[in-house]
Amino acid sequence: MGRGKIEIKRIENANNRVVTFSKRRNGLVKKAKEITVLCDAKVALIIFASNGKMTDYCCPSMDLGAMLDQYQKLSGKKLWDTKHENLNNEIDRIKKENDSLQLELRHLKGEDIQSLNLKNLMAVEHAIEHGLDKARDHQMEFLMTKRRNEKMLVEENRQLSFQLQQQEMAIASNTRGMMMRDQDEQFGYRVQPIQPNLQEKIMSLVID
């Protein structure tokens, strides 16, 4: 004798409702996985519980975003508004631009150039030569700046050495003067300057 037919309606008892949801949710996920493997089907499943908790499943061969895009194309239903479509288009544009730049960079490195025609090869050659000219100009500017800085450092060092030498000479002169004054005070005499008249008499005697 088979089981009686269950009436499909909202389960009023909260505990029974939670238990039933858990069992049937797990059953749905299990069936989705089985049909994916058995039938090589692309399956996506999203379940929201009454408390807001989400359960999802997507077949390994296709991500959920790609599956929703395919659903939108085949069903004709708009899942995204214009703002999101423009954002997706901008992302696609940036990805293509990045791929193009990566390919151009490989060409400049000499990689993947077998498929290029003569015009493209000449463009790559021109870009490389232009880059070399820029690099040489920057290198020359760097060397000239370095030499100017070295000359400035040498001149600054020369001036500092001269100033130091002058200071050392002044200190030595002051030290000798102090030592002579100390000796004069120690022996009790001072060297008197020669009087002008006496100096003239000495000079006349030397001349005679």
Percent of the chain having pLDDT more than 70?
83
Predicted structure pTM score: 0.39
Q: How confident is the model at residue 30 (pLDDT cuts 50, 70, 90)?
A: very high
Q: How confident is the model at residue 1 (pLDDT cuts 50, 70, 90)?
A: very low
Q: Nearest CA to 106 among 94, 93, 118, 124?
A: 124
Model pLDDT, residue 8: 84
pLDDT single digits (tens) 100-134? 888 888 877 778 788 778 888 888 888 888 888 88
* Tokens 């379940």, residue located: 47
Model pLDDT, residue 88: 74
Higher pLDDT, 29 or 126: 29
Model pLDDT, residue 115: 78
Section 138-145 average pLDDT:
90
Q: What is the DSSP string of 13-60?
A: SHHHHHHHHHHHHHHHHHHHHHHHHHH----EEEEE-TTS-EEEEE-T
Has residue 175 got a pLDDT over 60?
yes
Section 33-56 average pLDDT:
92
Mean pLDDT of the chain: 82
- Whole-angstrom distance, CA of residue 26 vs CA of residue 12: 21
Q: Nearest CA to 54 among 41, 44, 43, 62?
A: 44
Model pLDDT, residue 133: 86
- Whole-angstrom distance, CA of residue 101 vs CA of residue 80: 30
